[in-house]
Amino acid sequence: MSKHQKTKRLQMSFSAAQIAYCSNVHPGEDITDVLENIRVHFAAVKNGRGLPQMASGLWLSAKATKQLIDDTHKFDEFTQVLGNEGVRLSSLNGFPYGDFHQKVVKQQVYLPTWAELSRLEYTQQLAIVLANCLPDDVSFGAISTLPIAYASNWTVAEHRQSVVNFVTLAQFLKTLEEDTGKRIVVSIEMEPDCVLQSTTELTAFFKDELIPYAESVGVNKHRLLRYIGCCYDTCHQGVMGEDIRASLQAIHSLGIVIAKIQVSNALTARVATNEDIEALTQLFSDEKFLHQTKVFSSGRQTTAIADLNREDLIALLESASGDYCNNIDANTSIEARIHYHIPINHAEENLPLPNLGTTQRAILTALDFVSEHLPYAPHLEIETYTWLNLLSKEKDKKLALHSGLIAEFDWLEQALFARNLLAGVSK
């Protein structure tokens, strides 16, 4: 490693207090619920880590955000709770618009799309909240948002409108920075089966659509890229089977700010028999969240399943084997990469079945890239929103949740320390 690289790594560091977790793990669409989650859950995790203050990747629904915008008393209470509980509000999750913990979420999480005015207005309101709460020593705030829409039934007209809305947002964020002195970067988060699911699609969207349209209406490339960036979810791109280093390099090379890295871990499974499929789907199929599944053979994606389920996996294995039965030859198997967020500290040895694995390596590769290439510090946010599913059999779910989140932080701190990325700690 060159002297220049070593110097850059020393500059590129995170304090323990800068690492956040995404609060979409906690149910709560109303602002009253959000405040209670901060007092009960955020405070317990912060205290468990031995910190007086801690960054928060807070999820605010459209309902909660509007309550803050419309009622100054509620906003004052909100800021008072942030101060009392040691919350450094540096990023927001602006992906789920409505109730993220209703009985069935599935594809509803992608509504409204970026073609709809309600999505634009919600994101603008989030930016106002964040700009008014962002600590003075934080260079920019980040808001993650959906990758335009779920791809099924998406139209050309809707796509054109989404481009217009993103450019309108960039102009709004410029004015907001002029008024408040706070820069907010709205960050597009790629996700399997959405309009932008791959790095190629994301970079093409910026290069071939967003930037040209912005310039056609008088918004130059520099201004657009100052306010519209990328939220890089390591689970999502792990499910896609992407080369994480090459993916991040492609985004960075285009000048797109990687404003937030959602540190997340996906499930993988090698299935060869009916029993494998039964065991996998009994554990991880659920009626609430969508678990997009990409199927690989010899390291290449061969097909996809819209949502993890027994029937589709059986059909794919039948096709792969040519003659499906309960005991297929051991050489006939498929690899499934499943959009199911599992704790980031979990590897193969922590999983309940011997044929299961994780995409944890994607997290470590992303951190390597940050240490070696980025001249700025993206927000780091652990996102394991499925904890309540995973803890369904625990007697004390609250204690188990807090302990699990703290264990995730411990693992991430160790990974940062190994890369000289943890400020105030030397090897």
Distance of CA 56 to the CA centre of its chain: 14
Mean pLDDT score, 252-262: 98
126-141: pLDDT as tens digits:
999 999 999 999 999 9
Q: 5: pLDDT confidence band, cut at 50, 70 and 90?
A: very low
Smallest Cα–Cα separation from 190: which of 238, 140, 232?
232
pLDDT given for residue 425 in this prediction: 58
Tokens read off for 101: 């913990």
Residue 72 has a CB neighbour count (10 Å cut-off) of 9
* AA letter at 87: V
pLDDT given for residue 10 in this prediction: 45
pLDDT score of 170 more than 80: yes
Mean pLDDT score, 361-387: 97
Coil, helix or strand for 98? Answer: coil
- Cα 305 from Cα 316, distance rounded (Å): 9
Mean pLDDT score, 102-118: 95
295-305: pLDDT as tens digits:
998 788 999 99
Mean pLDDT, the chain, integer: 93
Q: Are 221 and 211 in contact (CB under 8 A)?
A: yes
pLDDT score of 383 more than 80: yes
pLDDT given for residue 321 in this prediction: 74
Question: How large a percentage of the chain has pLDDT more than 90?
Answer: 89
Rg of the chain in Å (alpha carbons): 21
pTM score, two decimals? 0.95
Q: 120: pLDDT confidence band, cut at 50, 70 and 90?
A: very high
Written in H, E and C, the secondary structure of 76-130 is: HHHHHHHHHCCEEEEEEECCCCCCCCCCCCHHHHHCCCCCCHHHHHHHHHHHHHH
77-96: pLDDT as tens digits:
999 999 999 999 999 999 99
pLDDT score of 11 more than 70: no
